[in-house]
Amino acid sequence: MEAKTATVLFTGQPQPLGGLSNEDELAKACPDEFRSDNPWSDYAMKIFFEGGSTANWKWKSDDKAERNRQIGCFQSVLGTFSLPHEDKEAVAGWMLSEILTEVPEHIPG
């Protein structure tokens, strides 16, 4: 079920003031492993609080359009005001785990 659920991660539409059209659905479907001490969620929050660069990211996809769509969804989740912080952290970490092959070493922006 988790693999099927992960396919909805990047189907939402970024909203004009931040957030995704399906962010509530994503928060409900997010696996529990991203809600506790998790390196993906920790890295997502480093990006949220400190900014950063994607220069050292090792992407799963080689398709530039797909990467742009994924990063757009990720940034939209980080920019939402609708989700509680815990949900934002969990969903953003889940997204990164589907976008990247490994947790990057953080590079501040």
pLDDT in tens, 11-61: 999 998 889 999 999 999 999 999 988 999 999 999 999 888 888 899 999
Whether 105 is in a domain gets the answer: no
Whether 109 is in a domain gets the answer: no
The Cα–Cα gap between 65 and 63 comes to 6
pTM of this structure:
0.89
Whether 108 is in a domain gets the answer: no
Q: Please state the separation of Cα 79 from the chain's center in Å.
A: 11
Whether 106 is in a domain gets the answer: no
The encoded tokens of residue 44 equal 């997502």
Sign of CA dihedral 104, 88, 68, 4: positive
* Structural domain span for residue 92: 2-99
The structural domain count of the chain equals 1
At a CB cut-off of 8 Å and minimum separation 6, what does 31 contact? 2, 5, 94
| Residue listed under structure tokens 């989700």 | 83
